[in-house]
Structures are given as C-alpha cells and as structure tokens.
Chain A
Amino acid sequence: MPLLNVDNVSFRYGEQWVLRGIDFAVEKGDFLGIIGPNGSGKTTLLRVIDGILAPQEGAVLLEGTEIGKLRREALARSVAVVPQYSALAFPFSVEEVVLMGRAPHLGRWRFEGDEDNRIARKAMEMTDTLGLAARDMESLSGGERQRVLIARALAQEPRLMLLDEPTAFLDIRHQVDFFDRIRSLNRDRGLTVIAVTHDINLAAHYCDRIILLKDGRIGAAGPVDAVITEENIRKAYETRVMVDRHPGTGSPRITLT
C-alpha cells in the first residue's frame, strides 16, 4: 500500500476550481517535487494533503485512512510540515520551538520528558542547530531559522515530510545546504518527502519524481527526465526554455532562452 494516496482530488474556493482530478500516489521513501507556475494550485494541493483544506471531491488517504477522518493530533504524528518562516509575536528560544514538535505526542497535561528532550536534541544535531539551542528565534539568520523548522518537523518523528517552498528566501548556498540535508534524511533514514518549489532546477537536482501542475491539473508527472522537457515547461509556464543536462550529475537543467 502506498504511504500517501491522492485519489482523484478536486478542490474549489467558492465557485472557482483550483484543483481538478489530481490523482497520484507516494511510496515510502519517495522524494517527490511539485512544481508549476503561480496560481497553478501547488500550495492548495499541499494544504489538501495536510488536511487543512478538505477537498470537495475525491480523498487523500494516508496508509489507507482518509486524513479527514484523523484527529489533528494523530495526523501531526505522521505528517510534518516545514513552512516558510513567519515572525513570532513573542520571543521563543530555538530549543522551545524544536520541543513544540513533540506536542502531538504529548497529552494535554504532560510536559516534555527525557525521551522528548532526547528526540529534540537528536533533531537539533541532525540539523546543526544544537549550538543555537538557547538563542531567540528572531536573532537567527534565515538559513538558521529554516534549519530550526526542519528540526521541529523531525522532532514530530513523521513518516511524511511536506516542504512548502522552504528555500524561497534563502541564498543559493543555503538552498543547497537545505536540500542536501533533506536528501540525506530521505536516503539514509527513508523519510518520505514532498516538496513544493518554484525552483525547477533545484527540484530536478534533488527529487526522484516530479509533478508539474498547470491550472489545477497534473500537466506532467513521473521521473525527473520525463517531466522536465522543453515541451512540458513551455506549455506549463508559457515561457521558452532550453533543457540540457547538468554536466556533473546528468539531471536535466533549464535555461531561459
């Protein structure tokens, strides 16, 4: 059984259909990229997968269970989201933020115990944020904050990790650093990852499979080589591009023409 099954999902805001007949499955250990032009429904799709938005048609199944039927807490134990950073209204330390990832595992009354602290520490080690533990979130750089948010997601011990344009405000060094970390979690620990991104080259470089959305439908889906073609990109983005091979890795690479 696939880990995640998006079964013929359609979603509309009011009268306007944003997603139409989206149908795909994600196996355990996959690294799936979702790309597409602005307004193509990428973020809406991610919210539907995460159960924040309920589709009017079709269903999202997590290991066979419809996610709309799961309690938020149960869902948060299986699915973690690395969001774009947004400022906090009040100061919280890095350690406090990472420990918040343990919330779905704790009942209403329980405080974090030794086990939770151990898991949070490990998550901070894996993301090189242990040295920042006592720092205030607002005092960190963009790259550091994004690593803390990965650590928080890891502390949830999820089976599926969703990335919502996590590198949108990072420079290339931190973009690469971010995706290197995610890929090694994917390769070494079997973490299943779905990443929404604007950056076609980053997606081509790191993902195993890609879904290209256009106007709320799947324009193309499959292995990176099959999706990132001049034809597909031109149709979806209405922009002329040239696709060649990355000289080092052999993955497809787009260049504006």
Chain B
Amino acid sequence: MTRFFLFTFLLAVPAIVLSVASKIETGKAVTPLRVSRVCALLFGVFLAVAAIAAITGPHRIDLLSLLRQDGAAASPEHTIVFSVRIPRILLAAIVGATLSTAGAVFQGLLRNPLADPYILGISGGAAVGAVLGIIAGLDFLPFGVPVLAFLGSLITIVLVFGVAGKRRESQSGTLLLSGVIVNAFCTAAIMFLISTASGTRLHGIMFWLMGDLGLADTSQTLLGGVALLAGFIVIYLHARALNLLVIGEEQALQLGVDVEKTRRVLFFAASFITAAAVSLSGLIGFVGLLVPHLIRMIFGSDFRLLLPASFLFGATFLVAADTLARTALGPSELPVGVITALFGAPFFIYLLKKTEAGRCRF
C-alpha cells in the first residue's frame, strides 16, 4: 500500500508541475530571469522525486527516525539510504541529465527531431566493448566493462566522423548515414558475440543492453558527473549558436556563427558525455529522445532554456524510472530501459496527440 502511494507521488509530482508550467510558460521570450525561474522549479521537482526515491525500496525507511538519528551513522537504515540508494540516485540523475542534454544537442545539430544520443553509433560501439568485457569476465574488475564500453564508443565516434569526412555541404546526412551503418555493423557483432556466450553471461549482457543502473560504483559515478559538468558548460556556451544552427547552417553563418568550429565542438562534447554515461549504465533508450521534446513542447525551442531544463528534467525522469525498475517487481529488478520505453512511448504519443498542430512538428 505504501509502495503504491510512493509510486503515485513519483509520477504525480513531475506531471502536475509540468502541466501547470505548460499553461504559464508557452510562447514567452527567454530571459536570464526566466531561465533561473524554470531551473529553480525543475530543481525543486528533482529534489522531491529524489527524496521519494530514497525512501522507496524493498526495505521500508521510516523518514522521521532516519532524520532523528543523524549521529548514529551505523544504523542499517542510514547505510541503505546513504550508501546504497543515494549513490544510485546520483548515477540515475547523471545518466538521465547526460542523455537528455546530448539528445537536445544532436536534435539541434542534425536538425532532426528523430535524433537521439545514440544516433551516431555511440551505442553500438559501447555495446560491443561492454559485451566483449562481460564475455571475458571483466565484470568482476572494478573498471573493466565501463572502460571497454567507453573505448568502444570512442572508436565509433572516430570512425563515424572519419567516414563523414570534412565535406560541409552534406555533412549532416553523411554523419547520419555513417552512424546508421556503424550501428548496424555493431548489432551484427553483438549478435555474433551473444550466440557464442555461455548462459551465465547472457543475463549480464541482456541487462547491459537494456540499461542497468546497478553496475557502477561511487567513484565511477563521480567521474561520470565530472564529465557531464565539463561537457555541459562547453555545450551551454554554444546555446545561442545552436538556435541559429537549427535555422540552417548557411543562415547561421550569415548571422555570425563560426559554423564549422561550433559544430565540431558540440558534436565532440555531446558524444563525449554520452560515451561516459553509456559506459556506466548500458543502453538506456528513449530518455534522450523523449525529454528534449517534452521540454520543447512546454518551454519552447530556445536552447538557452531547453538545455538546462532538459538536463534537470532528464535527471528527474531517470531517477523516477529507476525507482520503478528496482521496486515494481518486488525484490528482483527490471532493466531501467524497459521502464523508460514502456512508460515513455505511450506518454510520448499522448503528448503528440495533445499538442496543438502549430506548436510542434514532426
């Protein structure tokens, strides 16, 4: 019964805040004041959801007693909340924020609403690395699988950009195509590896491919957080340039953007943070596609607001999804990617139907 109420809160808090915001916030110009106001609001929602997530789980936490006995760090409740749940919430937040930010950047750079962080093949490369690592039994080493996954995605990034080359005219199209091809190749490689894997490894592989936030330890999580913050600062410096790039590369040039350099920096920063997040969590789908669209529908397309809002709401969304993933089926866990897709897809369709024709186009 309590769990039911917690789930309801988990979903209701963000839903209510966003639907109220969508009434007030549409069609306004972006000012520093508005960016801070929206960010404060979304950060509040994040804190609320994170707090609910911290007290949700197979072991019931009595909030009052937890707060009262702050001196006694050794109590089991204290250990569960601060050593198990909060690190995992932090990881979910970092991965959710990364995928949503990177998704928004890729959608803008490729001028394509279907773009997500994985579109240029990062997921495929990371998966090949991770599956190799799991089959080789490296998941017992602290950094084994993440390092291989990270290397795999770096290799694909280099490969995809190498294939696309330096031609500016058709670069978006060439990038997309080479991303698709690299991903197809990696899928085949993964299938090959899986068919040779033993039964005991398969479970680990499946969980990695669907996304699992129970893998990383705290030091890895913190590394991911540092990568995300550095990447986000670089990306946000180019927020206005991204607005202009959405209008078209030639018009961006005519409005004073150094298109070549801006694209390079943004592609690299977004790919880098995605690679870091994927190596910690596996392939969590839908977040990077859904969150930027949701935020755009409510707060508009201006990247100066879209980026920080996607960052904060992406974190919130994945913390909520992960809480469901680890508690919905009792003591056993679901891969979080199953939840993001099961909830994300219908919700997305609902949003598409609801949004008036003029506001958003696909």
What is the interface of chain A, defined by CB distance below 8 A to chain B? 50, 52, 71-77, 79-81, 83, 86, 88-93, 95-97, 99-101, 103-104, 106, 108-109, 111-112, 134, 136, 138-139, 156
Contact = CB atoms under 8 A, between A and B. Distances in A.
Contacts of A101: 255
Contact of A138 (B108, B111, B246, B358): B358
Contact of A81 (B108, B254, B300, B304): B254
Contact of A72 (B27, B111, B257, B296): B257
B29 A99 contact: yes
Contact of A86 (B112, B113, B248): B248
A91 B257 contact: no
A138 B361 contact: yes
Interface stretch (B43-51, B184-192, B236-244, B326-334): B236-244
A52 B358 contact: no
Interface of B: 27, 29-32, 107-108, 111-113, 237, 240, 243-244, 246-248, 250-251, 253-258, 296, 300-302, 304, 358-361
Contact of A90 (B32, B246, B258): B246
A111 B30 contact: yes
A76 B255 contact: yes
Contacts of B113: 89-90
A91 B246 CA distance: 10
Contacts, number: 96
16 contacts: A75-B256, A80-B254, A88-B246, A89-B108, A89-B113, A91-B296, A91-B301, A91-B358, A92-B247, A92-B300, A92-B301, A100-B244, A104-B256, A111-B30, A111-B31, A112-B29
Contacts of A104: 255-256
A76 B254 contact: yes
A68 to B, nearest CB: 13
Nearest to A81: B254
B256 A88 contact: no
Contacts of B27: 93, 134
A71 B27 CA distance: 33
A193 to B, nearest CB: 15
